[in-house]
Amino acid sequence: MNEHDSERISGLLEADGMVPAVSEEEADVIVLNTCCIRENADNRLYGALGNLKTLKSEKPELQIAVGGCLAQKDRELIQERAKHVDVVFGTHNVQNAVTLLKKAKTDGPVIEILEEIVEGDYEAFPSALPVRREVDHRAWMTIQIGCDNTCTYCIVPSVRGPEISRPFGQLLEEAKDFALQGVTEITLLGQNVNSYGRDLTKNLKHNDPSDFDIHQAGLAWADNQNRRVKPLFADLLKSVGSLEGIERVRFISPHPKDLTSEIVEAMSASESVCEHLHLPLQSGSDSILSAMHRGYTGERFLEKAREARKGIEDLSLTTDIIVGFPGETENDFTDTLEVVAEAAFDSAYTFIFSQRPGTAAAEMTSEFVDHDIAVKRYETLRKVVNRSALLKHKDRIGRIEEVLVEGKSKKGTDFVTARTRQNKVIHLETNESLKPGTFAQVEVKDATYNYLVGELREIIATPKHRKRIPVMAE
């Protein structure tokens, strides 16, 4: 989500006539887009601002702006701690970044944080703004902002606000536009993508659907006799997945409690929806899951994972896990290890619990887990995750896979980096110069726990995207 916000900010600056600088020293404007989901992001911001102080004193016309979740959370504190910051903006007014920078030029430092987006203001959604995409063949589409869940460790609901979905028709138009531009891979983004659209259907007429209702909730909902309040994620997957030119559809992140069989069916029915499901587990202990407010047990999670694997052929399953949540005992941690081993994830993002201000878990100080114990658990968990990841990856050796080329590989000049449909990184040995966006068939030759190595067999399609010319606002 933050990376996508960064693309929007770059897009806005470019639309205003700016060009990317090659280094910080050469920049006239530096925007730090922040994340506050874990504490080390906080620390990094103030460290980075400290480093920029010298630059600003040598070049007073340099403008420094801070945006994103941390700005939403820290507000005035940022300019109190770093007086050389010109602009602070939050998560609900990214579209004002350029105006605020101009205002700061004449009026001095400004701060603008909105509590929530203005209703119906779809410009406040990342995708509704000019985007400078880092890669031309791939695009992100924010289908929903905010989150209505109450996970007790999580700061997102307080900095991103309640869940609001973008109209179905608008998303389809945007996806079609992407396809026309030669984009072949779309990633649908939201904090809880599988509840997408529930809020939209709440506000519609349920007996006699109008064009407006169809635009809001899509044809499938309107055509159904039983027009009830329901999430529309499965419909959206099918519709985006059936667009001509869109070869790959991905999404992050679904919530296990809302993973319905309808979604599993939509994933399996739509050829372009990739065989990858990122399903955040967070913990395998029932009592910790309950203290986290996750709405499922370890066993229920495993059932969902089994159902998904059964319904979607060759599915890769990845997850997020937190260790050291307040009150987590050795037994709770063992439960997590057991669920993780049984789920046999293809990979996992793992975190040590971080106390976030304003969250319920931040108040559970008497139950905080000793940091050294949390670190030990983290290391043990990594071993279990890496073991299943290595097995999953070794299992790919000898297979022919379709990959989408991303660019240069860290492995050397004879290699390019690509991604399989399962979202695995593959370093591809080839002496042909394969452009980003190329589709190819490769044979998997080797595997580690976090990447594959392959050899080119055949190029299936070359990139279709046109080089975009920046649009000037004036």
Residues forming contacts to ligand 5AD in the complex (CB under 6 A) are: 37-38, 153-154, 280, 282, 320, 322, 351, 353-354, 356
> CA 448, 391, 377, 350: dihedral to nearest 10 degrees?
60
- Taking the least distance from each CB to ligand SF4, the nearer of 192 and 420 is 192
CB of 356 to ligand 5AD, least distance (A): 5
- Token pair, residue 424, equals 């695995």
- Token pair, residue 180, equals 């026309």
CB of 87 to ligand SF4, least distance (A): 26
Contacted entry of ligand 5AD, ligand SF4, none for residue 322, CB cut-off 5 to 8 Å set by kind: ligand 5AD
Cα dihedral 278, 330, 288, 363 sign = negative
CB of 306 to ligand 5AD, least distance (A): 21
Q: For residue 373, what are the contacts with CB-CB under 8 A and spacing of at least 6?
A: 324
CB of 358 to ligand SF4, least distance (A): 12
Kindly tell me the number of DSSP H helices and DSSP E strands found in the chain. 16, 17
Contacted entry of ligand SF4, ligand 5AD, none for residue 70, CB cut-off 5 to 8 Å set by kind: none
- Token pair, residue 199, equals 């809020």
- Token pair, residue 333, equals 């941690």
Cα dihedral 124, 129, 135, 136 sign = positive
d(CA 179, CA 172) in angstroms, rounded, equals 10
Contacted entry of ligand SF4, ligand 5AD, none for residue 436, CB cut-off 5 to 8 Å set by kind: none
- Taking the least distance from each CB to ligand 5AD, the nearer of 2 and 63 is 2
- Taking the least distance from each CB to ligand 5AD, the nearer of 130 and 280 is 280
CB of 360 to ligand SF4, least distance (A): 11
Contacted entry of ligand SF4, ligand 5AD, none for residue 147, CB cut-off 5 to 8 Å set by kind: ligand SF4
Per-residue exposure over 379-401, b if at least 16 CB sit within 10 Å of its own CB, e if not: eebbebbeebbeebbeebeeeeb
CB of 254 to ligand 5AD, least distance (A): 11
Chain positions contacting ligand SF4, by CB under 6 A: 147, 149, 151, 154, 156-157, 191-192, 255
Contacted entry of ligand 5AD, ligand SF4, none for residue 157, CB cut-off 5 to 8 Å set by kind: ligand SF4
- Token pair, residue 183, equals 């984009």
The residue nearest ligand 5AD at its CB is 320
- Taking the least distance from each CB to ligand SF4, the nearer of 212 and 349 is 349
Contacted entry of ligand 5AD, ligand SF4, none for residue 255, CB cut-off 5 to 8 Å set by kind: ligand SF4
d(CA 205, CA 354) in angstroms, rounded, equals 44
Beta-ladder partners of 33: 67
Q: For residue 74, what are the contacts with CB-CB under 8 A and spacing of at least 6?
A: 36, 42
Q: Cis peptide leading into 253, omega within 30 of 0?
A: yes
- Taking the least distance from each CB to ligand 5AD, the nearer of 38 and 102 is 38
Contacted entry of ligand 5AD, ligand SF4, none for residue 354, CB cut-off 5 to 8 Å set by kind: ligand 5AD
